[in-house]
């Protein structure tokens, strides 16, 4: 089995280490607070004195820290990687990923950026999805090891792509959570227990997820007319949500930005447009005029 370096033993880093040990890999770890390495050392991992010791003595080093500033800090001064691979699984921006890729390349290493679409308890299972981008040869060389962490998907050569899609998927998740929280607080304000309401909400949201493909196709095609549920009709419901929330003493702040965008589109003649037209409103290349 490969010898793998792991820098960062927080909640996620520890889960990554446990999955690698379960797959029989030799693990060489470092964490700023060395005490967090105790459980992995008890399971057979070795503790390095410095992050450089990890990076310079393993063919594959995985970094999973709180943010990319920390990654840049631990890689400060890195040299002599001689083709070794660094995989950064820290949440960051595409720009940060490309900057760290440059740092690793300048030190003679190969870089993969990754986005972990999973929580620690499911790491090491097929339910964990990890998105990768960057050096494809490095990905192919280490794919078997990386698949110890969960289902691996390589997106392309742009080191920033995995971070972009990680952040995009998280944006979708937070949009969903915003709606779930707003909806549940409204129901509770009407004395409907959240546990009871969640059955209705879950079924409704699962049905609405069937719209994702149509919204995606419309955004690809820039095709917003002939809506099944035109924005003019949806605006009525949206205004009712806002007024009812306020009457019940609930801050509509989680959903108000969407209402504002729908109102703007309708006021500019987009009343017959599909909800996907809001994507047109917010994207830099969006046309500020209603669909023809």
SS3 assignment, position 151? strand
Count Cα atoms within 13 angstroms, Cβ side, for 206.
6
Closest approach, Cβ 42 to ligand FVH, in A, equals 17
Residue 277 and residue 226 in contact, taking contact as beta carbons nearer than 8 Å: no
Nearer to ligand FVH, 120 or 279 (CB): 120
Question: By C-beta, is 32 or 222 nearer to ligand FVH?
Answer: 32
Give φ, ψ of 64 to 5 degrees: -140, 90
- Distance of closest approach, residue 132 Cβ to ligand FVH, in angstroms: 14
Nearer to ligand FVH, 11 or 237 (CB): 11
Shortest Cβ 205–ligand FVH spacing (Å):
22
Binding site for ligand FVH (CB under 6 A): 8-13, 31-33, 36, 64-66, 70, 73-74, 90-91, 116, 119-120
Do 124 and 106 form a contact (C-beta atoms < 8 A)? no
Taking the C-alpha atoms of residue 17 and residue 26, their distance in angstroms, rounded to an integer, is: 10
CB-nearest residue to ligand FVH: 10
Nearer to ligand FVH, 131 or 241 (CB): 131
Of 71 and 231, which has the nearer Cβ to ligand FVH?
71
CB of 18 to ligand FVH, least distance (A): 12
How is residue 282 written in tokens? 């917010």
Residue 140, Cβ density class (10 Å: 0-12 exposed, 13-18 middle, ≥19 buried) = exposed
Pairwise CA distance, residues 98 & 66, whole Å = 18
Q: 278 Cβ partners below 8 Å, 6+ apart? A: 258, 261, 262, 265
Please, what is the minimum distance in Å from the beta carbon of residue 64 to ligand FVH?
A: 5
- Identify which of residues 132 and 224 has a Cβ nearer to ligand FVH in the complex: 132
Min dist CB 52 to ligand FVH, Å, is 13
Give the C-alpha separation, 171 to 173, whole Å: 5
């Amino acid at each position: 089995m490969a010898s793998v370096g792991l820098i960062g033993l927080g909640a996620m880093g520890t889960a990554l280490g446990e999955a690698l040990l379960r797959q029989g890999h030799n693990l060489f770890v470092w964490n700023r607070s060395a005490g967090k390495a105790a459980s992995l050392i008890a399971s057979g991992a070795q503790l390095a004195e410095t992050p450089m010791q990890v990076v310079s003595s393993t063919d594959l080093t995985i970094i999973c820290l709180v943010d990319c500033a920390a990654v840049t800090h631990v890689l400060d001064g890195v040299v002599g990687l001689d083709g070794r691979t660094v995989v950064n699984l820290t949440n960051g921006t595409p720009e940060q990923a490309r900057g760290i890729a440059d740092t690793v390349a300048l030190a003679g290493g190969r870089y993969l950026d990754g986005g972990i679409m999973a929580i620690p308890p499911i790491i090491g299972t097929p339910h964990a999805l990890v998105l990768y981008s960057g050096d494809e040869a490095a990905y192919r060389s280490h794919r078997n090891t990386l698949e110890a962490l969960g289902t691996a998907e390589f997106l392309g050569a742009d080191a920033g792509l995995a971070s972009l899609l990680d952040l995009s998927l998280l944006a979708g998740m937070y949009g969903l959570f915003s709606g779930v929280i707003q909806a549940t607080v409204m129901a509770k304000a009407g004395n409907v227990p959240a546990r009871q309401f969640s059955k209705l909400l879950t079924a409704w949201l699962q049905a609405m997820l069937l719209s994702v493909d149509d919204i995606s196709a419309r955004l690809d095609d820039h095709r917003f007319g002939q809506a099944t549920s035109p924005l003019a009709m949806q605006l009525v419901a949206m205004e009712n949500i806002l007024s009812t929330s306020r009457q019940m003493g609930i801050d509509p702040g989680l959903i108000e930005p969407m209402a504002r965008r729908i109102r703007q589109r309708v006021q500019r003649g987009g009343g017959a447009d599909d909800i996907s037209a809001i994507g047109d409103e917010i994207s830099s290349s969006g046309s500020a005029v209603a669909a023809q």
